[in-house]
Amino acid sequence: MKILVINCGSSSLKYQLINMEDESVICKGICERIGIEGSFIKHEANDGKWTVEVPFPTHTEAFAKVVEMMTTGEGKVIDDVKEVSAIGHRVAHGAESFKESTLVDDEVIAEIGRLGAIAPLHNPAHVLGLNSAKAVFGADVPNVVVFDTVFHATMPRKAYMYAVPYEWYEDHKVRRYGFHGTSHKFVSLTAAEFLGKKPEELKIVTCHLGNGSSIAAVDGGKVVDTSMGFSPLAGLLMGTRSGDVDPSVVSFIAEKTGMNGTELSQYLNKKCGFLGVSGVSSDCRDLEIAAGEGNDRAALTLEMLVYQIQKFIGSYTAAMNGLDCIVFTGGIGENSASTRAKVCEGLGWFGVEIDAEQNSKRGLAVNDITGANGKVKVLVVQTNEELMIARDTKRVAFGE
């Protein structure tokens, strides 16, 4: 069985064809600059890589090109598009309408479109992708939507409500939703399997640290709290996002600068975080180099990151009344040994201790970096959101 995993942005379409017999990647690629001049596709298959410039007025032409690349030429991996058994789509926001990965029909697409009111940057693009997939692959291929929010749908009310007028929740759907759910689910399940335990037996804090970062408290396989909120802007400081700030700062800066709500939101999403504090870069590697060369603001940014991660781990240990395992994942979590070491150094009281040599290793699917006297397991898990989407798609479309 082959499953095509799709992640549509407003001007891009990422794809991966996965062989479900051994969960290997058959081919992958990206269409960029859809609807913009200079569009192209990058396709990787059969140990080769191709970049082809081709006009993509809409996502439909991009999908058609993906099919062409998969079925013809040197990058060919299937004889006929009918070999694709199902398509799994990553969707950013399911809000309270979707509590599970879902088989797509017209009403599902319409509801994802309506949720564009609270996810304007993402959901409209997903609707374009869903409609284009139907147009190019036909009605016989099942499409499944897998939401970034769904794994967090188990949060109790006390964790997801904000202390704002209740009508904001009822009328405008204002609450904590959480994101990166597919990654938190994948790494928490992988951690349980690695530890030889059922997810129900474990209290895990999963730290997804990348350009976007979020932390989740996973108690017995269910999320009980997470750091992102109504949008992915909340929680930890990130590459260019501020994370949590006192909301009064926003109105104060609006008055000082004359920026309106949209401009401020752009600012908080694109000019803050690592970039805003350090003035150096939004990239953790650049900060580590700059801090090593004595740049004080780069060093401060990294200190803030470590401190905020520690505070989330501490508060989620309290929220779960215990902690069996910490998982690090995402570009920073998987690769920055120094971030992991500094975070764990400050958690000795919790029974966290890591093995320095094991922590320096890279590239393992799961790396157990727990120290000899560590009471809490500390794992580095390579996330694989595409595989999680493919597994969910198979389950929803065809049953276990």
Q: Does 283 bind ligand ADP (CB under 6 A)?
A: yes
As a whole number of angstroms, the longest Cα–Cα distance in the chain is 61
Whether 355 is catalytic: no
> What are the tokens at 269?
């999403």
Q: Which of residues 306-345 bind ligand ADP (CB under 6 A)?
A: 330-332, 335-336
Work out whether the CA dihedral 105, 396, 210, 346 comes out positive or negative: positive
β-pairing verdict for 48-53 and 366-368: unpaired
DSSP assignment, residue 170? H
203-209 and 325-329 beta bridge pairing: parallel
Question: Of residues 95, 108, 237, 284, which one binds ligand ADP by CB under 6 A?
Answer: 284
Q: How far apart are CA 214 and CA 318, in angstroms?
A: 18
Nearer to ligand ADP, 60 or 329 (CB): 329
Catalytic residue among 22, 148, 225, 283: 148
Segment contacting ligand ADP by CB under 6 A, of 18-26, 72-80, 158-166, 284-292: 284-292
Phi, psi of 146 (to 5 degrees): -120, 120
Count residues binding ligand ADP (CB under 6 A). Answer: 13
- Residues 69-88: x/- map of binding to ligand ADP (CB under 6 A)? --------------------
Least distance (Å) from ligand ADP to the CB of residue 38? Answer: 22
Provide the residue count of the chain.
400
Residue 210 interacts with ligand ADP (CB under 6 A): yes or no: yes
Residue nearest to ligand ADP (CB): 331
Residue 211 touches ligand ADP, criterion: CB under 6 A: yes
CA–CA separation, 267 and 258 (whole Å): 13
Candidates 269, 205, 282, 217; CA nearest to 243 is 269
From residue 231 to residue 260, the character string flagging contacts with ligand ADP as x (rule: CB under 6 A) and all else as - is --------x---------------------
The 10 Å Cβ neighbour count of residue 166 is: 10
Interface with ligand ADP (CB under 6 A), residue from 9, 88, 212, 374: 212
Helical ranges in 196-230 per DSSP H: none
Indicate the residue among 189 and 289 with the shorter CB distance to ligand ADP: 289
What residues have CB less than 8 Å from 157, skipping those under 6 apart? none
By C-beta, is 126 or 340 nearer to ligand ADP? 340
Residue 8 CB, shortest distance to ligand ADP, in Å, is 16
Residues recognised as catalytic: 148
Q: Which residues bind ligand ADP (CB under 6 A)?
A: 210-212, 239, 283-285, 288, 330-332, 335-336
